[in-house]
Amino acid sequence: MTNEKPCGYVAIVGRPNVGKSTLLNHLLGQKISITSRKPQTTRHRLLGIKTTENYQIVYVDTPGLHQDHHNAMNRYLNRTARSSLEGVNVILWLVEAPHFTPEDAYVLTTLSPLQTPTILVVNKVDKFTDKNLLLPYIQEVGSKREFKNIHPISALKDQNFTELEMSLVQLLPLGTLFYPEDQLTDRNERFLTAEFIREKLIRHLGAELPYRITVQIDSFQDAEKLISISATIWVERPGQKAIVIGKDGAMLKAVGQEARQDLEKLLGKHIFLQLWVKIKKGWSDDERALQQLGYFEGNR
């Protein structure tokens, strides 16, 4: 008798905004990865670990692959997304009907040298009342690479997850658990805190600004019933600082309140959160500044 069961790594890949992080959170039943309508939301590789009696799947959430590599941030995101593909057992490739975009084609090119078994996931099918309209799309994309399976799903509405996970598990080797059964992610609480704050900023601020923002945790004190956190939001210019703070501090207050609520759900304790806004010129396009703020692998 051994206690070997299907255990393995599954990379979730796809163009920005197709629903990768949403899928990870919903498969786990707990939010660990931040999501928004804007590209560049996910900046780091993040593991989401799902352990049941019968299997352990280690999902790898990745930044979307960005076609435009003109700035340091996009180059970093692409490097992270590509290296996340190394050594995984299965690739889940997310697309969204009805269009196969140039960004999707770019992902396909990145996958083409890889022999890794791939499952095609057609996400956001909740947007289609007439599911027959999906068929031509599934046929079109389904012929672009060899797929072990094709699953139409809704990440947001938890639709068709059982079928998806069943076909995943069949592709995993038998082995012993990689992580303890109660572990949900490889990232620590400080990291998740910074990400949750960044998510609220992305959701509240206009189209361009969020790309110029990063969050650093200055202190994280975990007492019996209360966690006290102090964090700095880095922006590039005084004008941006004013926007982040908002009229009479209203914006910063809303961001803080929403981040606190998410953190209380995740960490199961009361949270006291203090936010500061500071200026650091040109950080997002300067590899050295990125490195100082922890945007390189090894930052885990």
Ligand X SMILES: Nc1nc2c(ncn2[C@@H]2O[C@H](COP(=O)(O)OP(=O)(O)O)[C@@H](O)[C@H]2O)c(=O)[nH]1
- Name the strand (E) or helix (H) holding 60: strand 56-61
How does 237-247 read in b/e, with b if 16+ C-beta sit within 10 Å? eeebeebbbee
Whether 185 and 57 have beta carbons less than 8 Å apart is answered as no
CB nearer to ligand X: pick between 35 and 56: 35
Q: Which of 9, 11, 42, 149 binds ligand X (CB under 6 A)?
A: 42
Question: Residues 5-24: x/- map of binding to Mg ion (CB under 5 A)?
Answer: ---------------xx---
SS3 231: strand
Decide: is 152 part of the binding site for ligand X (CB under 6 A). Answer: no
Decide: is 45 part of the binding site for ligand X (CB under 6 A). Answer: no
Residue nearest to Mg ion (CB): 42
Binding footprint of ligand X, residue count (CB under 6 A): 21
Residue 19: name its binding partner from Mg ion, ligand X, none (Cβ under 5 to 8 Å by kind).
ligand X
How does 256-287 read in b/e, with b if 16+ C-beta sit within 10 Å? bebbbebbeebeeeebebebebeebeebbeee
Question: Residues 131-150: x/- map of binding to ligand X (CB under 6 A)?
Answer: --------------------
Q: Which of 60, 65, 97, 155 binds ligand X (CB under 6 A)?
A: 155
How far from each other are the two terminal CA atoms of the chain, in whole angstroms?
36
Decide: is 48 part of the binding site for ligand X (CB under 6 A). Answer: no
- CA gap 231, 199 in Å, rounded: 14
Q: Which of 36, 42, 80, 240 binds Mg ion (CB under 5 A)?
A: 42
Decide: is 127 part of the binding site for ligand X (CB under 6 A). Answer: yes
Decide: is 107 part of the binding site for ligand X (CB under 6 A). Answer: no
Residues of the shown chain interacting with ligand X in the complex, contacts defined by CB under 6 A: 14, 16-22, 35-37, 41-42, 64, 123-124, 126-127, 154-156
Residues of the shown chain interacting with Mg ion in the complex, contacts defined by CB under 5 A: 20-21, 42
